[in-house]
Structure 1
Amino acid sequence: MPVPVEYQRASDDFYRYLIDARDTAGLWSTHVTYTMTQGVFQTFRRRLSTEDAIAFANVLPICLKALFVTDWNTNEPQKPFETREEMTKEVKSLRREHNFSTETAIRDVATVLRRYVDEEAFDRVLAQLPDGAFDFWEV
């Protein structure tokens, strides 16, 4: 079997995502956008069981899937969904000295992420996750 196309184009697709997210958020760098995306992913992941997090990761493109699981402390206690403002503070706490995430970081990442996933599959998985998961990714 040949290498699936999504693996062959993974880096290009990931960089397209970063540029799109950078422009949507009004940021100046894909490096800053990377940190913002990772912060949003970690904030969301902390509110899921391991099983639910894997189900969510499975609907992401390859490189975003890898970013979602990067630096995962599976022993970290699961947190409840909170207000968007509280969760945005958590997004901004990742690499605090070098984090320039916007006040709308969660919405910005959600808006762009939906352009890079199969939205039907994405929403189907979100509907099976705990209360608050669907709202987290709502734009």
Structure 2
Amino acid sequence: MEYRNASRDFDAFLIDARDTAMLATTNQAYTMVEAVLTVFRRRLSIDEALAFAAVLPPVLRAIFVSGWDTAEPRKAFADRESLTREVLAFRGDHNVSPASAIADVAAALRRHVDRPAFERALERLPAGARGYWRA
């Protein structure tokens, strides 16, 4: 059933993320979501990233692992301002994410996942991971 409703559920999530971030289009929201997920993934080991991906809805799971260069050096978690700069730099001129992008995606994501499973997954990740998804 999770896969049968994947497109509908993703559309609902994307509209939620768009509205939370006060963006004009779902295309803008998609880029914001992709940036937030990619910046987060860069800070996890492969095992940690796969454990996190397992609690995401199917389309978000696919976005999370899409284009993943597993040989890329792992980055350390940094302060929110530094992480936000990295999110805003993602895809350059095609990214109109607000400075609140991480918190906006975090808020929308929490409304579209199994909250207890999501929280359990975060508990197994580095402390910076939990802070990253603080809305």
TM-score tier (shorter): over 0.9
- Residue of 81, 104, 120 corresponding to 1:85: 81
Q: What's the counterpart of residue 125 of structure 2? A: 129
- 3-state SS in 1 of match to 2:73: coil
Q: Distance in 2 between matches of 1:14 and 1:133?
A: 23
Q: Aligned residue pairs: how many? A: 135
Q: What's the counterpart of residue 69 of structure 1? A: 65
Amino-acid identity (%)? 53
Give the deviation of 1:94 after TM superposition: 1.4
Q: Distance in 2 between matches of 1:51 and 1:62?
A: 18
- 3-state SS in 1 of match to 2:78: coil
Q: What's the counterpart of residue 95 of structure 2? A: 99
Q: Distance in 2 between matches of 1:81 and 1:125?
A: 17
1:8 has 2:4 as partner: yes
- Residue of 4, 13, 17 corresponding to 1:17: 13
Give the deviation of 1:84 after TM superposition: 0.6
Q: Distance in 1 between matches of 2:57 and 2:92?
A: 27
Q: Which runs of no fewer than 5 residues in structure 1 stay unpaired?
A: none
Structure 1 runs (4+) greater than 4 angstroms displaced: none
| Coordinate RMSD, CA, aligned | 0.6
Deviating more after overlay: 105-114 vs 85-94:
85-94
Question: Which TM-score applies when normalising by structure 2?
Answer: 0.98
